Chain A
Amino acid sequence: MSIHIHSGQQLIQGDKQKQIIERIQQRIGSFQDDLIIIFENLIPPPKSTISAQLNKEAQVYVLSSDIEDSFEKLNMLSLPEGHIITILSDSCLLYYLSLPKVLSEFLQEHHIDSESAVMYLRLLLDEAIKNAIEHGNLDLSIVKDGFIEGSEDFEDYLAIIQDRLMDPRWGKKKVILQIHQENDKLICCIEDEGLGFDWEDVLQKSESVHHGRGLKLVQQIAEDIKFENNGRKHSFSIKLSN
């Protein structure tokens, strides 16, 4: 196990960092031990359950209780070659943390030369995380009251998301995100604790005004797309030289 601390690198700085911190604090208040980042030597694919991840011995970054401190830690991340980065988070924190932006900028520093690839990676992570939370952990795909299917009211949809994120029954469900490099590709895998969803059905349906585009974008941009475990586990890759 080796952890490289890359000193002097600031991914989010000054006013922007303060804005993000204030936004998160306004929305979710204080939180504890919600986001864990694990660095370890590249190992065979992880076991399928999130609890197995928690029990495994590994170097762990716990980004907790103090969001300002969490950003300090995020600013010191480095992904040594041949290592896998694992991020484990409660849904309620991950949804508002702007992690795709932070991660894509971090990976740009170390692995990706193309600005276009960085933006595509950010988009893929954004859509995959939102999908895992909204249709996985928050169980929104099976709501029958019309807010998801047949409704065009995005305000209502956002309100439902916020309500469920604040409710521990949904908001404390974990998302696990793993990223590693294989030759000229970054491999991303995201897993949630939801009931699963019919991803084939989502991809086949025509989108409404606000819904249905995220997964289709992933399908159009990413490579090696796989869904497992009834849609709870989703992996894809992106070329670093895109």
Chain B
Amino acid sequence: MAQIDTSTSGVHTIILDESFDFENHREFREFWKNALSQKVKKIVVDFTHVKYIDSSALGMLMLVKNEVEGVDCKIELTNVSGHARNILQLVKFDSKFDLK
């Protein structure tokens, strides 16, 4: 997992690995907390490399969503395709998140 700090433009991008599951929890948490500490206006979660997500990933995304909504920030999920898109749509996250 990698993060691109573009806080000067108010956007912080988190690039996920091939699997987004409970193994990534700590790193993912560290990244979005880092973004919020810089008072960015938008966190972009990039799914380009993601081939697999599980229910833990859904929980992690909901947690970030709840956090950013309290501090005038937005979350956007980009390049979501394949299995990840299927699962996110199955649990109706496409109505909760800005899915691209």
A residues with a Cβ closer than 8 A to B are 101, 115-116, 119-120, 122-123, 126-127, 152, 154-155, 158, 209-211, 213-214, 216-217, 220-221
Known: A119-B52, A220-B90. A210 touches B59 (CB 8 A): yes
Determine whether B16 belongs to the interface, using a CB cutoff of 8 Å to chain A. no
Is B22 touching A152 in the complex (CB atoms < 8 A)?
A: no
Please report the C-alpha to C-alpha distance between residue A220 and residue B54 in the assembled complex, in whole angstroms: 13
Interface class of chain A by DSSP = helix
Contacts of A211 in B (CB 8 A): 59
Is B51 touching A119 in the complex (CB atoms < 8 A)?
A: yes
Please report the C-alpha to C-alpha distance between residue A125 and residue B38 in the assembled complex, in whole angstroms: 39
Chain A nearest Cβ from B86, distance in angstroms? 7
Is B55 touching A127 in the complex (CB atoms < 8 A)?
A: yes
Instruction: Please count the residue pairs between chain A and chain B whose beta carbons lie under 8 angstroms apart in the complex.
Output: 55
Is A154 touching B91 in the complex (CB atoms < 8 A)?
A: no
Contacts of B90 in A (CB 8 A): 217, 220-221
Chain B: number of interface residues, binned into ranges: 20 to 34
Chain A nearest Cβ from B50, distance in angstroms? 11
Please report the C-alpha to C-alpha distance between residue A119 and residue B66 in the assembled complex, in whole angstroms: 28
Is A209 touching B63 in the complex (CB atoms < 8 A)?
A: yes
Please report the C-alpha to C-alpha distance between residue A128 and residue B63 in the assembled complex, in whole angstroms: 23
Determine whether B56 belongs to the interface, using a CB cutoff of 8 Å to chain A. yes
Interface string of B23-39 (1 = CB under 8 A from A): 00110010000000000
Contacts of A209 in B (CB 8 A): 59, 62-63, 66
Chain A nearest Cβ from B60, distance in angstroms? 8
Chain B nearest Cβ from A72, distance in angstroms? 23
Is A158 touching B66 in the complex (CB atoms < 8 A)?
A: no
Is B83 touching A119 in the complex (CB atoms < 8 A)?
A: yes
Interface string of B1-33 (1 = CB under 8 A from A): 000000000000000000101100110010000
Is B55 touching A213 in the complex (CB atoms < 8 A)?
A: yes
Is A213 touching B86 in the complex (CB atoms < 8 A)?
A: no
